[in-house]
């Protein structure tokens, strides 16, 4: 069930400040034709909860992925790259040392199926192992992976905190998203008309149902609106300034944000650490992650909800963020 509540904001300054009109994403991932998805997870490794990012990418050369984690002992980023290549092995393993311990990545993408973007949807697994324990498992081939790898699954469930995706299109930009840990996977479609011959307008749909509709987009090029998906409040932000007032080779930005009721309720039941403490750790982590993306001002999408645009939400913390960069292909 999806329904919308509230109205769009007409004040540009009510949008998170890092979506300023002069802030452009510097996109340089294996060439300008790349398509990528970055997922941020909370995992438990070597006795501590920490952020780990998994980046899926697709280029003219093929598909690949990268895994990054912060090594606090040496103050550096540890990254394992499986670079795109038409003839790369779709199953294998790699290892890297993190704080003096070996972290291994095992993958099998030989039967992987893809839909909208570079992130596989089924028929695959990626297992990240440290000290004989699977600290992060992605994919649907659980039994095959456990039988082949013979490692113990982690006692702590991993949490998806944030997802960033680049979308390419002319008028309609589509992706899929799950807003709750036990919720359904929903189809998201963003349709924007900015031609000179008609009044600019924006429409956002979830499962073919319109949840955000903005007329007179020239005056409402930035804004936010609250909708409900799977009985969860979702704050939707948009910034299409570049499409209206800059060249079409620059991107628009959309964000979908869900919240916990309070900081206390957002504490991890296993580790006892609040999501707020992880946000500060992720901010430091993101500053170091420059191999795959460089952004001109945004330290972390997870910090944006602290903006003044969230009135009365001082005790609310983000439980999930979906950030979409939309690029026009003329």
The pLDDT of residue 227 is 94
Across the strands, what pairs with 276? none
Q: pLDDT class for 21, splitting at 50, 70, 90?
A: very low
3 has a pLDDT exceeding 90: no
Which range, of 74-78, 198-202, 240-244, averages the lowest pLDDT? 74-78
Q: pLDDT class for 22, splitting at 50, 70, 90?
A: very low
Q: pLDDT class for 300, splitting at 50, 70, 90?
A: very low
Q: Where are the domains of the chain?
A: 2-27+167-328, 37-160
23 has a pLDDT exceeding 60: no
Average pLDDT rounded to a whole number, residues 142-153: 88
Average pLDDT of the chain is: 75
280 has a pLDDT exceeding 50: no
> At 254, phi and psi to the nearest 5?
-135, 140
Residue 6 token pair:
């509230």
The pLDDT of residue 261 is 59
The pLDDT of residue 122 is 92
Residues of the chain above pLDDT 70, percent = 68
The pLDDT of residue 306 is 35
Which range, of 7-11, 32-36, 52-56, 191-195, averages the lowest pLDDT? 7-11
Residue 163 token pair:
């997802």
Could you tell me which residue, 33 or 39, shows the higher pLDDT?
39
- What burial letters (b/e) apply to 143-170, b meaning 16+ CB within 10 Å? eebbeebebeebebebbbbbbbbbbeee
User: Each residue of 211-258: pLDDT tens digit?
Assistant: 999 998 989 999 999 999 988 899 999 999 999 888 667 899 999 999
194 in Cβ contact with 330 (< 8 Å): no
> At 91, phi and psi to the nearest 5?
-150, 145
Average pLDDT rounded to a whole number, residues 142-148: 90
Q: pLDDT class for 174, splitting at 50, 70, 90?
A: very high
The pLDDT of residue 197 is 62
Rg (CA), the chain: 20
The pLDDT of residue 284 is 45
Average pLDDT rounded to a whole number, residues 166-195: 88
The pLDDT of residue 88 is 67
Secondary structure string (H, E, C) spanning the chain = CEEEECCCCCCHHHCCHHHCCCCCEECCCCCCCCEEEEEEEEEEECCEEEEEEEEEEEECCEEEEEEEEEECCCCEEEEEEECCCCCCCCEEEEEEEECCEEEEEEEECCCCEECCCCCEEECCEEEEEECCEEEEEEECCHHHHHHHHCCEECCCCCEEEEEEEEEEECCEEEEEEECCCCCCEEEEEEEEECCCCCCCEEEEEECCEEEEEECCCCCCCEEEEEEEECCEEEEEEEECHHHHHCCCCCCEEEEEEEEECCCCCCCCCCCCCCHHHHHHHHHHHHHHCCCCCEECCCCCHHHHHHCCCCCCCCCCEEEEEEEEEEEECC
Average pLDDT rounded to a whole number, residues 68-76: 77
Residues of the chain above pLDDT 90, percent = 36
Average pLDDT rounded to a whole number, residues 285-297: 38
- What burial letters (b/e) apply to 215-238, b meaning 16+ CB within 10 Å? eebeebbbbbbebbbbeebbbbbb
180 has a pLDDT exceeding 90: no
Average pLDDT rounded to a whole number, residues 121-138: 93
Average pLDDT rounded to a whole number, residues 119-134: 93
281 has a pLDDT exceeding 80: no
Q: pLDDT class for 262, splitting at 50, 70, 90?
A: very low
Cβ neighbors of 302 (< 8 A, separation 6 or more) are 40, 161, 162, 279, 282, 283, 318, 321
The pLDDT of residue 129 is 94
Residue 164 token pair:
């960033």
């Amino acid at each position: 069930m999806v329904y919308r509540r509230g109205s769009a904001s007409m004040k540009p300054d009510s949008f998170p400040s890092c979506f300023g009109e002069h802030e452009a994403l510097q996109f340089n991932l294996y060439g300008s034709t790349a398509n990528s998805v970055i997922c941020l997870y909370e995992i438990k490794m070597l006795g501590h909860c920490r952020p780990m990012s998994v980046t899926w990418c697709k280029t003219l050369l093929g598909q690949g992925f990268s895994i990054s984690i912060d090594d606090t002992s040496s103050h550096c980023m540890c990254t394992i790259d499986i670079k795109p290549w038409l003839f790369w092995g779709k199953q294998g393993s790699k290892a890297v040392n993190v704080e003096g311990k070996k972290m291994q990545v095992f993958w099998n993408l030989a039967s992987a199926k893809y839909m909208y973007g570079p992130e596989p949807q089924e028929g695959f697994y990626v297992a990240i192992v440290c000290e004989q324990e699977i600290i992060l498992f992605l994919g649907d081939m659980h039994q095959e992976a456990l039988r082949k790898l013979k490692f113990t699954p982690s006692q702590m469930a991993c949490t998806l905190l944030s997802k960033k995706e680049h979308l390419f299109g002319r008028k309609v930009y589509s992706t899929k998203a799950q807003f709750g840990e036990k919720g359904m996977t929903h189809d998201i479609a963003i349709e924007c008309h900015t031609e000179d011959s008609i009044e600019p307008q924006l429409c956002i749909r979830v499962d073919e149902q319109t949840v955000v509709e903005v007329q007179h987009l020239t005056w409402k090029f930035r804004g936010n609106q609250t909708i409900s998906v799977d009985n969860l409040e979702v704050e939707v932000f948009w910034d299409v300034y570049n499409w209206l007032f800059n060249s079409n080779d620059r991107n628009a930005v959309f964000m979908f944000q869900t919240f916990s009721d309070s900081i206390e309720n957002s504490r991890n039941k296993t580790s006892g650490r609040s999501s707020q403490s992880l946000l500060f750790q992720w901010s430091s982590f993101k500053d170091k992650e420059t191999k795959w993306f460089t952004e001109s001002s945004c330290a972390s999408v997870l910090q944006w909800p602290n903006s003044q645009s969230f009135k009365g939400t001082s005790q609310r913390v983000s439980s999930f963020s979906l950030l979409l960069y939309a690029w026009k292909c003329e």
